[in-house]
Amino acid sequence: MKKLLLLMLAAMTATISTQAQTKRSADFKAKYQLKEVVVMSRHNIRSPLASGGATYMRVTPYEWFKWTSPGSQLSLRGGVLETEMGQFFRKWLVGEGLLPDNYRPDGDDVLFYANSRQRTFATAKYFSAGFLPFANVEIKHKYEEDKMDPLFTPQFTKMNDTYRQQVLAEINAMHNGPQAWMQSVQPTLTLVEEIIDMAHSPAAQNDTTHFWYDDTQFTLEKGDEPKMTGGFKLANSVADALVLQCYESESLSAFGHELTQEQWRAICGIKEVYDALLFTTHSAAVNLAYPLVSRIREELHHDRRKFTFLCGHDSNLASIGAALRLVYPETEQALELHTPIGSKLVFEKWSNGTDEYVAINLVYQSVSQLQNRTLLSVEEPPMILPVTIEGLTANSDGLYRLSDLDARMAETMTEYDAIKDTEASAIPAPATTIPSGSARSYTLSGTLAPNSYRGIVIEQGHKTARTKY
């Protein structure tokens, strides 16, 4: 009986904490004042990435949902959802007294900075309309050409062989290694093969009726994002296109298969494996997330700033989290397990007059809000789940000391500084030849991959055995 009571209390506490951002008590508000908010946002719903386009279409006989935007760009729905999210943030922050309603930013009070890709710029633009509907505000961006801005590119800016092996070792330590982790989602891969009827797809004519993944190789090179090649990458593209189609079609069924929310979460689990392997080892993350961690740190110490909106990708959220050892909550009412489409990692800076504190929340729209395009407000908020910081202790009001977070940020930046940047191989090469003049691929066990390696590339209607990564 006592145990039941404790469980109930725990459940109540959980409910309160999940609404922390909008449900803070009067006592809390009397004690603390909100000084600044820094939002690190993932873009909202987009069309499938153009680069995976041909392939994800060729592994099914079905027609995909007719996307409302060109490949990789923000969809009409994505734009509307982001406008609604901007409206929520306005209502919330006006309620907190951080900004007046219909605020017209003055000087450096507000910053919108987006990656130069269409989907990230447009996300920021739509958000800003809902957030500052009575103001002209510039979305800062670096390129006109839909390119990746280095700030938002989760790339290695330093590399050496020791460090590469360290990253590979951490990849191999995750969930018993990539192969075991991939094997654990085999039932879902089979389910996806059935959903998309891969057996009757154009690709099947060339014998690709399954998602193979024993050919996985990793490429970890300076100036590039960490990459994975092989069949699991294709599975990731298909899972990505499926979940986007689910949002866009306002249905939980796919190609005539009625799916449960649990099955959808399993499908998103494929993406989870892919993203986590590439972007969430701590060693890789301190490198990949360095520019953004550095920027968020600056923003939190900016004298005049009240609101910052940075717009990038889920890989940014994943690597920032891993670099800072943030513990993302397991999502509720979402298909994605950690950083649902349009997610915002929200850093709130609070002051009690003497000390500064920080709270971090993950804010995103539930599946139902995504599909129904629900208007959001403080009374009808998006999903808000607290993010904790591994190794740091929050005070009794649920806040971390800003100085503690700052020290954590400084640590990760020191870790980055400690990475030697050299291309020279200090480690004896495995018993294969390093391909000269091209990026090096590594097998699941962390050894250099041979030039010729099992794998399928589906291209131009023909299957070709992959001989180079």
Catalytic residue numbers, as ranges: 43, 314
Contact in structure between 468 and 229 (CB atoms under 8 Å): no
Q: Which of 27, 63, 100, 136 binds its own copies (CB under 8 A)?
A: 136
Give the separation between CA 324 and CA 87, rounded to whole angstroms: 29
Span 94-123, contacts to its own copies by CB under 8 A:
101-102, 104, 118, 121-122
Q: Is 130 in the site for its own copies (CB under 8 A)?
A: yes
Contact in structure between 193 and 199 (CB atoms under 8 Å): yes
Could you write out the DSSP letters of every residue in 378-395?
SSS--EEEE-EETT----
Give the separation between CA 27 and CA 31, rounded to whole angstroms: 6
Binding map of its own copies across residues 164-203, x = CB under 8 A, - = no contact: ----------------------------------------
Q: Which of 22, 60, 72, 87 binds its own copies (CB under 8 A)?
A: 87
- The CB-of-343 to its own copies minimum distance in angstroms stands at 19
Contact in structure between 88 and 365 (CB atoms under 8 Å): no
Q: Tell me the window of 74-82, 229-237, 279-287, 317-325 that interacts with its own copies (CB under 8 A).
A: 74-82
Give the separation between CA 315 and CA 276, rounded to whole angstroms: 9
Reading the block at residue 447, the tokens are 């050894």
Q: Which residues of 239-266 are buried (b: 16+ CB within 10 A; e: fewer)?
A: bbbbbbbbbbeeebebbeeebeeebbbb
Cβ-based nearer residue to its own copies, 139 or 278 = 139
Q: Is 469 in the site for its own copies (CB under 8 A)?
A: no
Contact in structure between 28 and 52 (CB atoms under 8 Å): no
Give Cα separations from 422 to 157, 164, 290, 426, 449 (angstroms).
Answer: 11, 11, 18, 9, 21
Reading the block at residue 52, the tokens are 């995976």
Q: Is 29 in the site for its own copies (CB under 8 A)?
A: no
Cβ-based nearer residue to its own copies, 354 or 368 = 368
3-state per-residue secondary structure call for 230-251: CHHHHHHHHHHHHHHHHHHHCC
Rounded to a whole number of angstroms, the CA Rg of the chain reads 23
Q: Is 92 in the site for its own copies (CB under 8 A)?
A: no
Q: Is 126 in the site for its own copies (CB under 8 A)?
A: yes
Q: Is 70 in the site for its own copies (CB under 8 A)?
A: yes
Q: Is 249 in the site for its own copies (CB under 8 A)?
A: no
Q: What is the tally of helices (H) and strands (E) in the chain? A: 15, 17
3-state per-residue secondary structure call for 190-217: HHHHHHCCHHHCHHHHHCCCCCCCCCCE
Cβ-based nearer residue to its own copies, 116 or 343 = 116
Q: Which of 80, 151, 387, 394 binds its own copies (CB under 8 A)?
A: 80
Q: Which of 14, 129, 151, 457 binds its own copies (CB under 8 A)?
A: 129
- The CB-of-251 to its own copies minimum distance in angstroms stands at 15
Q: Tell me the window of 2-10, 137-145, 212-220, 399-407 that interacts with its own copies (CB under 8 A).
A: 137-145
Q: Is 138 in the site for its own copies (CB under 8 A)?
A: yes
Span 355-374, contacts to its own copies by CB under 8 A:
373
Cβ-based nearer residue to its own copies, 46 or 338 = 46
Q: Is 133 in the site for its own copies (CB under 8 A)?
A: yes
Give the separation between CA 17 and CA 11, rounded to whole angstroms: 10
**Angle, alpha carbons 61-62-67 (nearest 5°):** 135
Cβ-based nearer residue to its own copies, 133 or 202 = 133
Q: Tell me the window of 68-76, 232-240, 337-345, 434-442 that interacts with its own copies (CB under 8 A).
A: 68-76
Q: Is 14 in the site for its own copies (CB under 8 A)?
A: no
Which residues lie near its own copies (CB under 8 A)?
68, 70, 73-74, 76-77, 79-80, 83-84, 87, 91, 101-102, 104, 118, 121-122, 125-126, 128-130, 132-136, 138-139, 144, 146, 373, 375-377
